[in-house]
Amino acid sequence: MSSSPRRVHLAAHFPGVNNTTIWSDPRSESHIAVDSFIHMAQTAERGLMDFLFLAEGLRLREMNGKIYDLDVMGRPDTLTVLSAVAGATVRIGLAGTLTATFHEPYELARQFATLDHLSAGAPRGTW
C-alpha cells in the first residue's frame, strides 16, 4: 500500500443569485457579463484554487422586457463561458455541468473534449 500524501482540491464556484450570496448586492455588477466570469476565475487562480466550477442555468428571466442581469438562471452557456475563461487564465482547471435533456451525451463529451483541448488540459502548468 502506497503512502503518498493526500491532496485536497479547492474549487471556486460561481453560485449565482440568492438571498445568501454577494450577488444579491446591486454593487456586485453583472452576473451574465463575461468579464465577471473572467474576473472570478483570475482571482481564484491567484488564490491557488484548483478549478472554477459553473453549474448550468437552463433559462433566462425577464423583468420589464429586459433580461434580469443578476440572476442565476440568466447565466450564459457554460461551455461558451468556460472557453472565454480558458483564454484569460493559465493554470486554473475548468469544470461545468451540462444537461443531457437537450443534448446527446456524445455531443456533450465532444464539447468538453474540445474545451479540454482549447485549454491545454486542466490544470495547466505547475505551481
93-125 pLDDT tens trace? 998 888 888 789 999 999 989 988 888 775 544
* Predicted TM-score (pTM) of this structure: 0.72
Cα–Cα distance between 95 and 93 in angstroms, integer?
7
Q: Do residues 25 and 17 lie in contact, with contact meaning Cβ atoms separated by under 8 Å?
A: no
Looking up cell 448550468, which residue turns up? 56
DSSP letter for 30, please. Answer: -
* Helices 78-88/105-118 angle, 10° precision: 10
Q: Is the pLDDT confidence value at 19 over 50?
A: no
Other Cβ atoms within 10 Å of 118 Cβ, number: 14
DSSP letter for 51, please. Answer: E
Cα–Cα distance between 48 and 80 in angstroms, integer?
23
Is residue 113 assigned to a domain?
no
Q: Do residues 81 and 37 lie in contact, with contact meaning Cβ atoms separated by under 8 Å?
A: yes
Residue span of the structural domain in which 57 resides:
11-103
Number of domains in the chain: 1
* Helices 78-88/34-46 angle, 10° precision: 50
Is residue 39 assigned to a domain?
yes
Is residue 118 assigned to a domain?
no
Is residue 28 assigned to a domain?
yes
Is residue 52 assigned to a domain?
yes
Q: Is the pLDDT confidence value at 84 over 70?
A: yes
pLDDT interval class at 11 (50, 70, 90): confident
Is residue 20 assigned to a domain?
yes
Is residue 59 assigned to a domain?
yes
**Residue 43 backbone phi and psi in degrees, to 5:** -65, -45
The percentage of the chain sitting over the pLDDT mark of 90, rounded to a whole number, equals: 24
Is residue 110 assigned to a domain?
no
45's CB contacts (< 8 A; 6+ apart) are 89, 90, 91, 92
